Amino acid sequence: MNQAILDGSGLGALERVRRSWELAVASAQRRPVYGRTTGVGENRSVTLGNPTEQDRRLLRSHASGSGPGVPTRTVRATMIVRLNQLLNGGSGIHPDVIPAIAGPLPTATCRACMATVPLGRRTCPRSLKSPSR
C-alpha cells in the first residue's frame, strides 16, 4: 500500500494532545520546565524568555541529517509512527502540530530526507574510536 489512510477515528487523541499542551503551558508558568523554559543539554540551566522562539530554535537544531537518502515510503512510515506517539498525549506539543504532520502524509514525497548516521564504533573514523579494552 502506497497511501496513508487518515480517517479521523482518533478524535479522542486530539483532545489528549490539547490537554497535554495546556498542562505543559500551565506548568511552565509556575516553574522551570526542561526544554520549554530552559535550554537543553548543556544549556539546561539557561532560562529562556520566549517559549515560541525556543520551539523554533530546537526544531531547527534537530532539522538535519546525514548519510544516504531515505525512500519516501520509509519517510511516510516514520511520520506515521511519530504521529502515533504524539497522539498519545504526553509530549506537550501544540495541537496544531498534528494536522501539520498528518496533512501531507497522503501525498508526501521526499527529495532530501537523509538517515542520521549515529556515531559509534562502526561509523566513526578510526582516529575517533575509543581504544579497545
Please indicate whether residue 34 is annotated as part of the active site. yes
The active-site residue out of 34, 73, 78, 114 is 34
The three-class DSSP label of residue 22 is helix
Mind giving me the DSSP string for 110-133? Answer: -SS-BPPPPPSTTTS-GGGSPPP-
What gap in Å lies between CA 54 and CA 6, rounded to an integer? 30
| Rounded CA separation 79/5 (Å) | 13
State the catalytic residues: 34
